[in-house]
A and B are shown apart, each in its own frame.
Chain A
């Protein structure tokens, strides 16, 4: 593919989850030291452009890379983040969460992987126009590749910091206790409708996801992320449990 990501997948350093979370926390802390304490939603546009010095540009990724599933790209030497125009939050407010996650994801590549890129492939993203190869491309459905997984985990930690999620959870649910699927099945208004819909759609395995996403919605709105991203984060933090 034209402009494909150039990182050698087998050569990706294996970063453990706590390490990635620490790097994300440190970035947030640096930002707060310069610009004061943050509250949800995390000001990701300002972190990316004003603190990291990466300029955001909207572009037509399909035209640029010949692939329709590219959401974002990072040009390390040019210090540019490209975002696909379909994610413009003013033109498509429902994409706001996806837009913000894309910025945080590219910030993750910048903080976790850029030295690797600079050290091994000099000049590859420099000097040419934007049709030149991007250092990192972020495509939907690519999350299992470890470098993309790391950037996603970084994005989740940055946009949904542990301490702010815990505080919001307690405020919303009244206690720092996890919620189980069984409890939701009994208590969540609309649980039967969700179950009926997933059965009707022939996808009963989606039922837990849909239940959890329904519960995640208020926090997702507060942190301006998708309810899917919030559900995944709440499960990571052990606040939503599939089994007792």
Chain B
């Protein structure tokens, strides 16, 4: 099912799964993650048992996650859940209180510059960050054309 992203005013026909947007929540990460997973799987017409089968876990384990009784699963498992639920993995990984699997190696590759960059951009608005990302993409493209 290809949901249309309601938050993406610029490209309203874009599929929701392609649109990265934060999942807002004021709850603890266990509760927020569990409740989001439950609501989203029901939207996707997946029963607890069926979704557990697709993810490769037991319904009891998944149910404990949904109830917020257990910490959210590993990044790999969360990513897998995101794919099944047609969500972008990054916001779901953040909701789970975890960090995407590729980031530690990116930081390790440039251990001075990347942390410096991240500290510097901390506090900017989402729009400002998107502008920087666009600028970086242009830099990379120009670099590859030369």
Contact = CB atoms under 8 A, between A and B. Distances in A.
B45 interface: yes
Interface stretch (B63-71, B77-85, B113-121): B63-71
Contact of B50 (A45, A48, A55): A45
Interface string B28-48: 000000000010001001011
Q: Is the interface of B mostly helix, strand, loop or mixed?
A: helix
Given A55-B38, A57-B67, A49 B48 contact: yes
Contacts of A48: 47
A58 B47 contact: no
B64 A58 contact: yes
Given A57-B66, A91-B58, A91-B60, A45 B45 contact: no
Contacts of A88: 58-60
Interface string A51-78: 0000111110000000000000000000
Given A88-B58, A88-B59, A90-B58, A56 B47 contact: yes
B52 A45 contact: no
B142 to A, nearest CB: 50
Contacts of B60: 58, 85, 88, 90-91
A50 interface: yes
Q: Is the interface of A mostly helix, strand, loop or mixed?
A: mixed
B49 interface: yes
A46 interface: yes
A176 interface: no
Nearest to B53: A90
A45 B49 contact: yes
Nearest to A91: B58
A45 B47 CA distance: 6
A89 interface: yes
B49 A89 contact: yes
Contacts of B66: 57
A234 to B, nearest CB: 26
B53 to A, nearest CB: 8
Given A45-B50, A50-B47, A56 B42 contact: no
Contacts of A56: 47-49, 59, 63
Contacts of B63: 56-59
A119 B53 CA distance: 38
Contacts of A50: 42, 45, 47
Interface in B61-110: 63-64, 66-67
Closest 4 CB pairs of A and B: A45-B47, A58-B63, A90-B58, A58-B60
Given A48-B47, A58-B63, A90-B58, 17 more contacts: A45-B48, A46-B45, A46-B47, A46-B50, A49-B47, A49-B48, A55-B38, A55-B48, A56-B48, A56-B59, A57-B63, A57-B67, A88-B58, A88-B59, A90-B49, A90-B53, A91-B60
Interface of A: 45-46, 48-50, 55-59, 85, 88-91
27 contacts: A45-B47, A45-B48, A45-B50, A48-B47, A50-B42, A50-B45, A50-B47, A55-B38, A55-B42, A55-B48, A56-B48, A56-B59, A57-B63, A57-B66, A57-B67, A58-B59, A58-B60, A58-B63, A58-B64, A59-B63, A59-B67, A88-B59, A89-B59, A90-B49, A90-B52, A91-B58, A91-B60
